[in-house]
Amino acid sequence: MAAPIIRRALLYVPGSSKKMLDKSRGLNVDTIAYDLEDSVTPNKKVEARQNLRHLLQQPRAAGIREQAVRINSVESGLALADLQEVLHSPNLDALVLPKCNSASDLHFLTDVLRQTLPTRHPSTPSSASSTDHPPIRLIALIESAKAIQNLPSICAASPYLSGLIFAAEDFALDLSITRTPSLHEFLYARSAIATAARAANLASTIDLVCTAYSGVQGLKTLEEECLNGKGMGFNGKQAIHPSQVEVCQRVFSPGEAELEWAVRVVVADEKAAEAGRGAWTLDGKMIDAPVVGKAKAVVGRAESCGIDVETVREKWKGQEPE
């Protein structure tokens, strides 16, 4: 069984900077999105593609869970050239598609994947792709009012789609609104994205970039944004500087108190089930099936994040349903 996809932090690295590309291989991060789009000027696109093809032919870096490339948008006319350069790289795990405004953008990518790497991307359900080289995953950037209106069809557009990302700055440009520290102006769009991704059972909902990253106050702002996004249903955040990664990955992992509560619920529920009790209490609060389901999800995510769950289970092995 394939390991669950965890993208607590998705860090962008410019494809045109060999220095930054080399440095990135020493990071510990869930997903790196090597960028061919916004951070690369038009006269550097060809060089950046070649840089990424060389980079993704190297042995995998130990600390990076997923290596992705953010290509240029389909509407830019540059996407096909990007794909032709990077798709044959053996260590490419995912593609980030910017300005995904409709299902047709993902249809284009899906067709190119199937034509270029047919054994890795079967066109019929009965075809089996190699377990050594699973299909390249797609992550769509939602950046416009049109994209928000098309979320249901976007989420259903490709079997390879595994996540949505909210691009706040481009969305603000499209709607002629100004970003404020409260982020209230993005409430509808962010809620729509988180809800649509969950309804489609996508692995990732990745929240907006925090533009503050320098100093103590910058990291505090980042943490506040992460907690806000987590509370809305996002399970990861975009990062534009390596200093942001630790905060993102810590906040979007189950916290110590959260995990202890979840383990207590799971352990006590196992005993309640043996006694034929469908509902019981813990710390004076009723525990029923939805609460147990949430607790099990927290425990599962903690395990996927590499947290030592067994030690916590051992600590609370005596927990009884009240």
- Rounded CA gap, 189 and 218, in Å? 24
Query: What is the structure's pLDDT at 132?
Result: 67
Q: Is the pTM of this model over 0.85?
A: yes
In a shared domain, residues 297 and 164: no
Domain boundary among 252, 276, 305: 252
Contacts of 53 (CB under 8 A, 6+ apart): 85, 86, 88, 89
Assess if residue 3 is contained within a domain.
no
Query: What is the structure's pLDDT at 162?
Result: 97
CA dist list (Å): 195 to 31, 202, 205, 237: 22, 10, 9, 16
In a shared domain, residues 222 and 297: no
SS3 state at 10: strand
In a shared domain, residues 154 and 104: yes
Q: Are 302 and 259 in contact (CB under 8 A)?
A: yes
Assess if residue 4 is contained within a domain.
no
Domain count of the chain? 2
In a shared domain, residues 102 and 167: yes
Which CATH number belongs to the domain containing residue 135 in this structure?
3.20.20.60
- Binding site as annotated, residues for substrate: 70, 143
In a shared domain, residues 283 and 229: no
In a shared domain, residues 183 and 40: yes
Query: What is the structure's pLDDT at 170?
Result: 97
SS3 state at 2: coil
Query: What is the structure's pLDDT at 213?
Result: 78
Assess if residue 25 is contained within a domain.
yes
- Binding site as annotated, residues for Mg(2+): 143, 170
Query: What is the structure's pLDDT at 281?
Result: 92
- Binding site as annotated, residues: 70, 143, 170
In a shared domain, residues 141 and 278: no
**Within 13 Å of residue 295, how many CA atoms lie on the same side as its CB?**
20
Query: What is the structure's pLDDT at 122?
Result: 85
Assess if residue 322 is contained within a domain.
no
Pick out the chain residues at pLDDT < 70. Answer: 1-2, 125-132
Domain boundary among 252, 270, 289: 252
Provide the residue range defining the domain that includes 276. Answer: 256-316
In a shared domain, residues 151 and 260: no
Domain boundary among 204, 219, 252: 252
Assess if residue 58 is contained within a domain.
yes
288 is catalytic: yes
In a shared domain, residues 200 and 268: no
- Rounded CA gap, 156 and 282, in Å? 40
- Rounded CA gap, 35 and 30, in Å? 16
Q: Are 183 and 225 in contact (CB under 8 A)?
A: yes
In a shared domain, residues 234 and 272: no
Assess if residue 310 is contained within a domain.
yes
Catalytic residue among 207, 269, 283, 288: 288
Query: What is the structure's pLDDT at 212?
Result: 83
Assess if residue 321 is contained within a domain.
no
- Rounded CA gap, 227 and 222, in Å? 9
In a shared domain, residues 182 and 309: no
- Rounded CA gap, 183 and 57, in Å? 40
Task: From 146, 137, 70, select the one nearest 102 (Cα to Cα).
Answer: 146
- Rounded CA gap, 9 and 241, in Å? 11
Assess if residue 1 is contained within a domain.
no
In a shared domain, residues 221 and 293: no
